[in-house]
Amino acid sequence: MANKVNATIKERGKVYGHPERSHENIALGWTGLIQQHYGIKLDHTIPSWLVSLMMVSFKAQRSARVYKEDNFIDMKAYTKFTEQWQKRQNNKL
């Protein structure tokens, strides 16, 4: 399964770009939406590792409805990103 996860990350990277950059851009959009919806100003953009955790939740919700291997591959990729990025952020503190 690890090979499928790594192959998926590589394949999607060719289409969507580097995963962390993609998650940073998603974070910018989600931060703006949250601020607009709630009429608030956040001190910072949602971190990329939190976007990854939210995507795990999204894939888990899909998996609750029907089995699709792709959802589980994606969850493993997202948790891999989360661990790397959150660990790096915590080491900066």
**Per residue in 48-74, pLDDT tens?**
999 999 999 999 999 999 999 999 999
* pLDDT, mean of residues 9-23: 95
Check residue 32 and give its pLDDT. Answer: 98
Kindly state the tokens that stand for 89.
Answer: 């952020």
Confidence of residue 92 (pLDDT cuts 50, 70, 90): confident
Overall number of domains in the chain = 1
- The rounded distance, in Å, linking the Cα atoms of 51 and 56 is 9
Q: What is the CA radius of gyration of the chain?
A: 14
* 0.85 surpassed by pTM: yes
Q: What is the mean pLDDT of the chain?
A: 95
Domain, as residue range, for 38: 2-92
- The rounded distance, in Å, linking the Cα atoms of 70 and 2 is 13
| 76 CB neighbour count, 10 Å cutoff | 19
Question: Is residue 1 over pLDDT 90?
Answer: no
